[in-house]
Amino acid sequence: MKRLLWIGGLVILMLSGLLVFNHFYYFRPNLSEVQIKEQAEKKLGRELPDCLRRYTDPYVKTSIHKVEVLDISQLGGKTYLVFKADLKVVGSGQGYSGPFQGGGYMVGIRLVEGNLGGISLKDGMEFTTDLVGGANPAECGQMPNGIFFAFCKDPRIDKVVLELSDGNNIKAEVRSRVVMAQIPRDQSGITPRFYDKEGVEIEPSWGMKIAFVSQNEKYYRQYTNYPLEWWNMNAEDIEVITPAMVNGIWIFPDQQKNTLQKERAKKLLELADAGVPVIFVGMKDFKELEVLGLDRNAIIDPEVPAKEVEALYLGRNDKGTVEAGVITLDDEQDSPVLMKTVNLRYHMDLPGQTKSKAVAGTKTIKIPMQPAAPVVKGVVSGGGR
């Protein structure tokens, strides 16, 4: 009996030692980045639905639409990955009713460790956010061990500087719109700053900044309950807009004719080429955009009835080409205009309610860019938010 107790105690001691060893010793994953990405996305696909329940309203049907590992990096001799999971929310049909209906997604980081079956995902963190109401050009997180990470939702971000509380700065690399950096553990605060290719800092905001080109409230009233920084303006004010001032321009019927005068039309093409979506709300026929030099016979899909067209748009896609198309009505979508603006501005293909006829019914064309008119520096002021 004593012998069995000794054997049992020895086994327990060995198992405890293995657990302690496994806890403190890091096993490097002996796989390529492609293999790690493939295995990690499968594991996250099973893990994240449980995580999502901690962040969402149980009375709103929210699910994981797509999981993507964005980047894999080596920090402090260990392998980490940053992932993004797009969220799908069943629309209320009553207008904007929650953050995740404005392009919701989850961002997170995981430590990747090797095991006999491939990899395991350990220590990490995640959080949920959305594109419409988010205040920062990038969504950031920091682990207790000093790992900083960020997803650059603004595609203009080219350089990142991390200002530490001790006065030192760390320049962080942007890869695949992701930043990962090791910082000292004893830092009580960190201030990330984001810059474009020209070195201009991209400032935080209270949400998407949309210029409403209209002086008639009946046209834009339905959009004022969205979490946007908006102001209404005249067509003439477009001349002073710079790409850094706005995330989108919505031109309403009362100002469309004045906006499409020759010189202003050139400015609209310039802004679209700089990544600012230009939406002609209520416009249905590309004949009205002849001043832009569009091929009116090659844009609107004849299978899309005019009564379903809510707007026309100009914008730059993720390949860097300016495209033109239609935005159609869709019962599953709270605001096709808002969602298309988000997609074009942030170069994202949002799930569910945004992958609808607004995409399927759109043809694109290449727009010959004319030399841009000089941009006049200035501030557009107005009321509303």
Judged against a pLDDT cut of 60, whether residue 362 lies above it is answered with no
The 3-state secondary structure of 32-99 reads CHHHHHHHHHHHHHHHHHHHHCCCCCCCCCEEEEEEEEEEEEEECCEEEEEEEEEEEECCCCCCCCCH
pLDDT tens-digit series, residues 79-99: 999 999 998 877 555 555 555
The angle subtended at Cα 272 by Cα 345 and Cα 86, nearest 5°, is 15
3-state secondary structure of 244: coil
Average pLDDT over residues 37-55: 93
Judged against a pLDDT cut of 80, whether residue 21 lies above it is answered with no
pLDDT tens-digit series, residues 104-121: 899 999 999 998 879 999
- pLDDT reported for residue 326: 87
By C-alpha distance, which of 277, 149, 272 is closest to 208?
Answer: 277
- pLDDT reported for residue 319: 74
**More confidently predicted of 336 and 113:** 113
pLDDT tens-digit series, residues 266-294: 899 899 989 999 999 999 888 888 888 76
Looking at the DSSP bridge assignments, the partners of residue 362 are: 300
Domains for the chain: give ranges and CATH numbers: 27-195 (no CATH), 208-360 (3.40.50)
Residues 6+ apart with CB under 8 A from 162: 148, 169, 170, 171, 172, 181, 183, 190, 191, 192, 193
Looking at the DSSP bridge assignments, the partners of residue 140 are: 150
Q: Are 215 and 232 in contact (CB under 8 A)?
A: yes
- Which pLDDT band, with edges at 50, 70 and 90, does 38 fall under? very high
**More confidently predicted of 349 and 353:** 349
Q: How far apart are CA 353 and CA 86, in angstroms?
A: 12
Give, as one character, the DSSP assignment of residue 197.
T
By C-alpha distance, which of 206, 218, 219 is closest to 337?
Answer: 219
Q: Give the number of other Cβ atoms within 10 Å of residue 173's Cβ.
A: 12
Judged against a pLDDT cut of 50, whether residue 171 lies above it is answered with yes
pLDDT tens-digit series, residues 188-225: 788 999 999 989 999 887 778 999 999 999 999 988 88
pLDDT tens-digit series, residues 222-253: 888 887 889 999 999 999 999 888 999 999 99
Judged against a pLDDT cut of 60, whether residue 295 lies above it is answered with no
Q: What percent of the chain has pLDDT over 90?
A: 43
Average pLDDT over residues 374-381: 29
Q: How far apart are CA 242 and CA 23, in angstroms?
A: 53
- What token pair was written down for 282? 């209520």
Residues 6+ apart with CB under 8 A from 363: 298, 299, 300, 301, 325
Judged against a pLDDT cut of 90, whether residue 185 lies above it is answered with no
Which range in 16-25, 259-268, 296-305 is most confidently predicted, on average pLDDT? 259-268
Q: What percent of the chain has pLDDT over 70?
A: 76
